[in-house]
Every structure is written in C-alpha cells, then in structure tokens.
Amino acid sequence: MAAVPVKKAVFPVAGLGTRFLPATKAMPKEMLTVVDKPLIQYAVEEAAAAGIEEFIFVTSRGKGVLEDHFDHSPELMAALADKGKDEMAAAIKSWLPAAGQVISVRQPEPLGLGHAVWCARHVVGDAPFAVLLVDDLIHADQPCMAQMTAAYEQVGQNLVLVEEVPAAQTNRYGILDIAEDQGDFVKVKGFVEKPDPKDAPSNLSIIGRYIFQPEIFDFLAAQGKGAGGEIQLTDAMARMLTSQQFHGVRYQGERFDCGDKLGFLQANIALGLSRPEFQGRLREFLDARLKAETVS
Ligand code: G1P
C-alpha cells in the first residue's frame, strides 16, 4: 500500500535559546538571521519545497514575532508599491504561506522536545507528519525535507535524518543502534538520547528532521523524563520500535548547528559564499583577513 503523503510539519520553536544569549534575551532564536533570512524561514521554505501544506509552530511566550513574520503585511506592501519596488514585494509574496496554513499551539512549560511535539497532537490528528528542528540549518541542492519525503515514498513508516559525528560528541545527539546499514538508509533497532561516548551504540546521530506516523503521540503521551530531566522525543521513538519500523536517512548537503554560536558564524560565511552577489567580495575580504591574521 502506498504511504499516505506528508502534508503537515511541526516546528518546535518554544525554546529559550539560552545558548545564544545575549542575542536571544528579547528575540526568539529562530529569528536569528543567516545572511538575510531568519532561521525559521529557511525551515518553512524547506518544508514547503517538500509539499508541506500545514506549518504547525509549537511556541511559547514571547514568540509572537514568528507568527508576524509569516503574516501578510499590508502597510509594507503598500510602501513597496509606492516606491515602485514591485520585485521586492513579489519576492516576499513568493514565500508567504497562504491564509490558514500557519497554525500555532503553545507549549505551556519547557518540558522537553518530546513534550513540545506532543503539544501539536490535536492539530496533526491522524496523519503522518514531519518535524523540523530550526537550529539545524541544512544547505543542500535538493532541499533536505524533499530528500526525506522521497525516502519516505520508498521505505514508508518512520524516518530520521542521520549523519556520522565524532565519537567524542555522541553526548550531544540522539544516537542510532543500527540493525542494518544499507548505505542511503539505515534500519534502526534502537535509539539512545545523548549517550556518553563509552555507552554509545554507534556514532550515527539524529539530525533535526523526522517523519512520523501519528502513533508516535501514543508513545509520547505516557512518557516520563529522560536525559537532562526532559521528556525526550528520542525515548518515544525507541519505544515505538516495538510496533513500527524506523529508518535513518543519509542526505546530500551540509548541516550547520545554528543553535551554537560557532555553527551560526560558519553558516553565515558558507551561505554568504554561496550567493553570487556576495561571493567575490566576501572571498576577497576573507582571504585578506586570513593573511593579515597569519602575519600578526
Ligand atoms: C535534539 C534531539 C537529538 C538530536 C538533535 C539534533 O537535541 O533531542 O536527539 O540529535 O536535536 O539537532 P537538542 O539539540 O535539542 O539538544
């Protein structure tokens, strides 16, 4: 039977962003800008390119600007029209979701990623859905979620994006226990959230893109605290393995951890260098700068 297509995506955006203070003291971390676009927009555009039609934000207090960013802005449009900036107005319209496509629910307390996803259960209903963690910015020729939905058409059920990490860093990620490594796909027999390197079953880590069957909510519902005292999505996935399959999906592209200051700087440089209007001058600047640093 063909898999039911994925039309809904959940964006857990309730986190405080403490790793990025002071920038995030009064501004959501998801509004941090890489070159000229906030992180949330990269994730929403990536989902839209994969055919997602409902964008479900799990928010918290102080995150209203995320909804505003995807709202229509008549004053801005009128001002751009007055100034003859029609191209700029058209560019904005091209990525704005249509009325009713962005839906927000609140996570009333910061109880963990698993709890955040569970807060979206009434909006997701009985349908397969994607989850995108906005911190993981993935620069790729084929948008990463489209790579996932293509993989989903092949293997169905539940998928996570995966990547090898240095063995010493397993305690920063969800880690796969591998049943069978098939190259592009990895059949999973277990998941562990942030294991110490000495206990890690592999160094294949979960990157922030998932496709789930709706039964994941059953496993999130009755769940206690896991690593870090939080309700972990990874723990629910591990329990669901008794009744459904999970595959890890390797991807083409480059991931930047934009929840981390260094990863964010790297993303700005890499994406800046990928933009024709900046690459020449940015490269000149970087070359000169690096030479000067080497001399001094
Ligand atoms: C979350 C997940 C973890 C995953 C990571 C990917 O952790 O809990 O399993 O590997 O995202 O970015 P967090 O980065 O929120 O601590």
Structural tokens at position 125: 């209903």
The helix (run of H) or strand (run of E) holding residue 281 is: helix 276-295
Nearest CA to ligand 1 atom 13: 173
Supply the pLDDT for residue 43.
98
- State the DSSP string of 186-247: EEEEEEEES--GGG-S-SEEEEEEEEE-TTHHHHHHT----GGGS--HHHHHHHHTTTS-EE
- The whole model's pTM is what? 0.95
Q: Tell me how far the alpha carbon of residue 41 lies from the centroid of ligand 1, in angstroms.
A: 20
Supply the pLDDT for residue 208.
97
Burial of 266 (0-12, 13-18, 19+ CB in 10 A): middle
Q: Which atom of ligand 1 lies closest to the CA of 173? A: 10
Dihedral sign of CA atoms 236, 237, 239, 242 in order? positive
Nearest one of 80, 113, 114, 92 to 45, comparing CA atoms: 92
Tokens 């595959």 found at: 247
| Beta pairing partners, 257 | 136
> What Cα–Cα distance (Å) separates residue 238 from each residue in 123, 216, 244, 293?
24, 10, 10, 48
Structural tokens at position 67: 């909804």
Supply the pLDDT for residue 214.
97
Q: Tell me how far the alpha carbon of residue 232 lies from the centroid of ligand 1, in angstroms.
A: 9
Mutate to test the pocket of ligand 1, among 137, 171, 173 (most ligand atoms within 8 A of CB): 173
Alpha helices in 22-165 (DSSP H): 39-49, 64-69, 74-82, 86-95, 113-118, 121-124, 144-155
Supply the pLDDT for residue 123.
97
Dihedral sign of CA atoms 198, 202, 207, 211 in order? negative
Nearest one of 173, 128, 180 to 149, comparing CA atoms: 128
Q: Which atom of ligand 1 lies closest to the CA of 206? A: 10
Structural tokens at position 233: 């999505």
The answer to whether 42 and 34 have CB atoms below 8 angstroms apart is: yes
pLDDT in tens, the chain (296 residues): 567 899 999 999 999 888 899 999 999 999 999 999 999 999 999 999 999 999 999 999 999 999 999 998 899 999 999 999 999 999 999 999 999 999 999 999 999 999 999 999 999 999 999 999 999 999 999 999 999 999 999 999 999 999 999 999 999 999 999 999 999 999 999 999 999 999 999 999 999 999 999 999 999 998 788 888 889 999 999 999 999 999 999 999 999 999 999 999 999 999 999 999 999 999 999 999 999 887 66
Q: Tell me how far the alpha carbon of residue 292 lies from the centroid of ligand 1, in angstroms.
A: 38
Q: Which atom of ligand 1 lies closest to the CA of 234? A: 9
The binding-site residues of ligand 1, defined as CB within 6 angstroms of any ligand atom, are 113, 133, 136, 173-174, 193, 205-208, 232-234
Nearest one of 167, 191, 172 to 248, comparing CA atoms: 191
Nearest one of 101, 8, 95 to 52, comparing CA atoms: 8
Burial of 208 (0-12, 13-18, 19+ CB in 10 A): buried
Q: Tell me how far the alpha carbon of residue 287 lies from the centroid of ligand 1, in angstroms.
A: 34
Supply the pLDDT for residue 17.
86
CA distance 148 to 160: 8
Q: Tell me how far the alpha carbon of residue 204 lies from the centroid of ligand 1, in angstroms.
A: 13
The answer to whether 55 and 101 have CB atoms below 8 angstroms apart is: yes
Can you give the residue ranges of every domain in the chain?
8-259
Domain 8-259 has CATH 3.40.47.10: no
The answer to whether 246 and 210 have CB atoms below 8 angstroms apart is: no
Tell me the residue type at 193.
E
